[in-house]
Chains A and B, each alone.
Chain A
Amino acid sequence: MRVSPSLLLALAFLAGIPTAQAQEPEAPAGASPPAPAPQAGGDTHIAMIYRPVPAPSSYDAEAEPEDLGVAGARMAVKDNNTTGRFTKQTYALDEVALEAGQDAVAAAKDLAAKGVKYFALTLPAEEVLAVADALKDQDIVILNAGAPDDRLRGADCRANVFHTIPSRAMQTDALAQYMTLMRWRKIFLIVGPTERDKAYADALKNSARKFGLKITAEKPWTFGPLAKARGDTPTRAEAMVFTRGLDYDMAIVADEEGDWGDYVPFRTVDPRPVGGTQGLIATTWHPTLETWGAAQAQNRFRRQTGRLMRPLDYQAWAAIRTVGEAATQKKTTDVGVLRPYLTTPDFSLPAYKGVSLTYRPWDHQLRQPVIVVQPKAMVSVAPEQGFIHQRTPLDTLGTDEPETTCKLK
């Protein structure tokens, strides 16, 4: 609708772009330049490497969309290009959807050889590390949008990796702050069978220590993936009974795969709230988030994809926007300039959270408010009022500088 006047104006405008903020894009230094892509434009290539989620075997109301994560990256590249019109910076997204068995490292090396300097990943921690180590001698930036593992910000941190997804510690700290606010001090911790479940439980225990909460009971979940069981499965009595006779204010489930956590709410013997990886959760994005301009991002995303934005989409968006925002501020897309700039106090990313987000210099974690939500509504935002820090309240979430075990190399 009304395309022609708008297009004409766009052309006229592009032709007469002012020079005050204008900036010639940098030619990629070093390795051979990326293959020419005449129609795609995009002087700065950002790679997005991910594994598409396999389709569910049967009906799944909450099935993850195939474009989970990458859809956020696509929106961010559009946003980068809209801003880039005024700075003469253009961006292209190089999407790599890994198939089962396909090596992330080979894909990353291939792109790096073509001159790609920026890599957004929504991959597990082992693969993030493998890619980071394979490219460690090159001046590149890796943005981890999918792995919350604390070790990536601790013993296994890497100088070329930046994290837009909050660490597990930040997530459990956010929940712990909310529980503190509510004076729910006694926790019944239920831990699933996987390594990720155990990592979440460890983070939760640390948070409990940090904020003076008490784990009054801890039990492993041994009843299988009941949340994924069919609705006609009879209620498993022993799963209810195992919550009997315990003294706690809130049950915390550690079930990162989403196999059974949703089975627990409303089935505990005593009426108690349930949170953790299901129920009341700490996350980066939610369909009901609309303050701080988030409604605009929700609308833009829905228009572009036909679905609601999810946390992984948001984290991938933040990764790609990190590159765009830094390039706008420094008036260059040269990785040699931008990589050191990301951890300076001058760089900040506005990202619909009411405050600008910055990267912690000691472990490259993006500082950010963490939202605490139930399935249908926002409940709170951490850091909660009253949690203070000499630097910024945001540093009450996650591993602080004095405690870090990260030695960037």
Chain B
Amino acid sequence: MVARVRAGLGVAALAGVWLAGAQGAQAFTAYVTNEKANTVSVIDTTTMAVTATWKVGRRPRGVTLSKDDKELFVCASDDDRIDVLDTATGKVVRSLRSGPDPEQFILDRSGNPLYVANEDDSQVTILDIEKNKVLAEIPVGVEPEGMGLSPDGKILVNTSETTNMAHFIDTKTFEVIDNVLVDARPRFAEFSNDGKILWVSAEVGGTVSIIDTGTRKVIKKISFKIPGVTDEQIQPVGVRLTSDGAKAFVALGPANRVAVIDAKTYEVQKYLPVGQRVWQLAFTPDEKQLFTTNGTSNDVSVIDVEALKVVKSIPVGLLPWGVAISKK
């Protein structure tokens, strides 16, 4: 493992030198947080190579971009803050008071505020990122993590990993309006593009719950079977839906697969082999590629969304956790 990491860093460093000027027609930039390296790996999505490695605070996990893609937000969990980086320079320009142990967050559709799950503190913090001011702290279940926002921005959903609920929060009043019990250790919440359906993964339960957001009832539970992989190894985490509502991709943790699901029938169509302990996923803005973070193999897999094939594995830093992709 150590040897592999060193090799990976070596490649990354080299890539940084000779790919610094590479430009493609549809080039986007992927940002990957490395939980144990306290860095962000910057990847050119066309060349599929690391172009830079940026230093951030301790235990970087959740990552997202400002609406204009000029700023990168990184949860520095062990420093109890959110680092804001200038995507042009890679420098931390300021830090936000996120509350203790920020893990995941999601930006309001308008670009402000930021909704933050404070994992160690059983609360969701609502943070004005311009004024760096806490607007509200909302008590939720134990170990809040997953954060989903309805397309109209009116409903925020937080999942609590030990309480095992999806908490529905009104973004106007900042009140919890409902709680839906799901399977063990819910990690991620993702709304369908029409806002009617919420997908919630349960890592230990091994399922994805499909929740009707109108009735707030679980209408379907998706489970997974992979030949040669024990049920215990199937641990769903990251969920992403194509914007046309046709397909869903679910990262299955130590099963080392990403499941491809028909988002209409909820049938699993395919399992794509990726790196080890795959957690988070992000599409390129054109939805032609899907990037996966593979924590144990310290790399990122790139999936060709149309061909449903893994086309590349890119070594990054130690324990890659989150990924966000900019339009630039």
Contact = CB atoms under 8 A, between A and B. Distances in A.
B120 to A, nearest CB: 5
B213 interface: no
Contacts, number: 96
A20 B136 CA distance: 24
Contacts of A293: 143, 161-162, 185
Contacts of A79: 142, 162
Given A18-B177, A21-B180, A83 B101 contact: no
A315 to B, nearest CB: 17
Contacts of B205: 350, 356
Given A328-B164, A328-B181, A5 B136 contact: yes
Interface string A171-208: 00000000000000000000000000000000000000
A266 interface: no
Given A293-B161, A354-B235, A6 B181 contact: no
Contact of B175 (A13, A85, A328, A348): A13
Interface in A333-351: 348, 350
Given A9-B174, A350-B164, A85 B139 contact: yes
Interface residues of A, number: 31
A20 B142 contact: no
Contacts of A376: none
12 contacts: A18-B177, A20-B179, A79-B162, A83-B163, A292-B204, A296-B101, A296-B143, A303-B120, A354-B204, A354-B254, A355-B232, A392-B232
A18 B168 CA distance: 11
Interface of A: 2, 5-6, 9-10, 12-13, 16, 18, 20-21, 79, 82-83, 85-86, 292-293, 296, 299-300, 303, 328-329, 348, 350, 354-356, 392-393
Contacts of A86: 141, 163, 165, 167, 176, 179
A300 B143 CA distance: 10
Contacts of A16: 175
Interface centre among A5, A18, A21, A83 (most CB of B within 10 A): A83
Contacts of B139: 6, 9-10, 13, 82, 85
Interface string B153-166: 00000001111110
A13 B184 contact: no
B108 to A, nearest CB: 18
B232 A18 contact: no
A13 B173 CA distance: 10
A404 B128 CA distance: 60
Contact of B136 (A9, A296, A300, A356): A9
Contacts of A356: 184, 204-205
Nearest to B122: A82
A404 to B, nearest CB: 23
Given A83-B141, A328-B163, A350-B162, 16 more contacts: A5-B136, A5-B137, A13-B138, A18-B178, A82-B122, A82-B139, A82-B163, A83-B165, A86-B141, A292-B204, A296-B120, A328-B181, A329-B181, A350-B205, A354-B232, A354-B235
Interface residues of B, number: 37
Interface of B: 101, 119-120, 122-123, 134, 136-139, 141-143, 160-165, 167, 174-181, 184-185, 204-205, 216, 230, 232, 235, 254
Interface centre among B120, B138, B176, by most A CB within 10 Å?
B176
B179 A82 contact: no
A217 B139 CA distance: 59
Nearest to A303: B120
Contacts of A354: 204, 232, 235, 254
Contacts of A6: 123, 136-137, 139
B136 A83 contact: no
A325 to B, nearest CB: 8
A99 to B, nearest CB: 34
Given A303-B120, A392-B232, A83 B137 contact: no
B163 to A, nearest CB: 4
A277 B54 CA distance: 45
B185 A350 contact: yes
Nearest to A2: B134
A86 B141 CA distance: 8
A21 B165 CA distance: 10
B177 to A, nearest CB: 6
B134 A299 contact: no
Contacts of B134: 2, 5
Q: Which of A9, A10, A300, A356 has the most CB of B within 10 A?
A: A9
A234 B197 CA distance: 72
B184 A350 contact: yes
A9 B140 CA distance: 11
B148 to A, nearest CB: 18
B199 to A, nearest CB: 19
B232 A299 contact: no
B119 A296 contact: yes
Nearest to B215: A20
A21 B179 contact: yes
A13 B175 CA distance: 6
Nearest to A11: B139
Given A6-B139, A20-B180, A299 B101 contact: yes
Given A83-B142, A296-B143, A328-B163, A9 B137 contact: yes
A82 B204 contact: no
A79 B142 CA distance: 6
Nearest to B277: A291
Nearest to B187: A293
A12 B175 CA distance: 8
B123 A13 contact: no
Contact of B137 (A2, A21, A296, A348): A2
